[in-house]
Amino acid sequence: MKPFLFKLFTSILIICTVGGAFAQDFQGKAYYQSKTTMDMSRFTGNRQFTPDQIKRFQERMKSFLEKQYTLVFNKEESIYKEEERIEAPNSGRGWGGFSSGLSGGPKYKNVKTKELLQDQEFFGKQFLIKDELEPLAWKMGSETKQIGQYACFKATAIIPDTSFDWGSRSRRNDEEKDESKEAEEEKTIEVVAWYTPQVPINQGPDNYWGLPGLILEVSAGRTTILCTKIVMNPKEKEEIKKPEKGEEVTQEEYTIITTEKMEEMREMRGRRQGNGRRN
């Protein structure tokens, strides 16, 4: 028997064995860690920085680029939220302070009603992002790997790249704006996900879902999210509560609001730097 077929057969047996536990009212909790890498050249441009300066900059960005999350789920609903942590003194300066203005709240998904809700704070203003949970066009692969005690299968999808590229925008001149924006609208990224049929629910971290098993690892662009621990049927269950506070907007409306604010900040920064050079 081929390795892929053997692993698939083994996973089906496991599902049949544990199926009774999932047929009842159950709850699980998965712990994730996310890490984003940064293209330093987009921030440094033609300026020269010493290795020590780059290291200090990366340390300041660590709270922005490395985060811990939990996903509490049942057969239909989930709530995904960032774990609170104590920041080191002065970590709120510079980009650390910038990231605090973009803090995301709990994200609620209901795979039965296709409901997506997120409590999102943006520079002191509270928003409630309310949208339909869009399906991803997953392509199922034959590759497998082990994540902890779980046998995982690979799936891929292509999605629009909606990330805000602060570095490239800060270097863009006015003549290039229209052309660059048009190019950005067409940008896409590949999502690579690893899911386990041993936890037969179609949930996952962040906006990812729709596979025949819990997604334990997902990579998109420069960000990777990895599950480090799963607790099934904890003695003390957590309430999966829908976010309710904030100005209600769609994801598209929220993206427009934040993009315009970022552009405004970029232009203000450019004017300050220009005034400084004249002085």
By the 10 Å C-beta count (0-12 exposed, 13-18 middle, 19+ buried), 3 is classed as exposed
The model's pLDDT over 2-38, given as tens digits with 9 standing for 90+, comes to 554 555 555 555 544 444 455 557 899 999 999 988 7
DSSP, res 175: G
CA distance 58 to 67: 14
pLDDT tens digits along 93-118: 444 444 444 557 899 999 999 999 99
Instruction: Give me the pLDDT at residue 264, please.
Output: 85
Q: How many CA atoms lie within 13 A of 120 on its CB side?
A: 22
pTM of the predicted protein model: 0.77
pLDDT for the residue numbered 173: 47
Average per-residue pLDDT for the chain: 79
What residue type is 140 in one-letter code?
A: M
Instruction: Please tell me the number of Cα atoms within 13 Å of 135 on its side-chain side.
Output: 9
Residue 51's pLDDT is 76
Please give the structure tokens belonging to residue 94. Answer: 């510079």
3-state helix, strand, coil in the chain (%, to 5): 35, 35, 35
What pLDDT was estimated at residue 168? 47
94 has which bridge partners? none
What is the tens place of the pLDDT at every residue in 53-79? 767 776 776 667 889 999 999 999 999
**pLDDT digits 0-9 by tens, 212-223:** 999 999 999 989
pLDDT per position as a tens digit, 116-173: 999 988 888 899 999 999 999 999 999 999 999 999 999 999 998 866 554 544 444 4
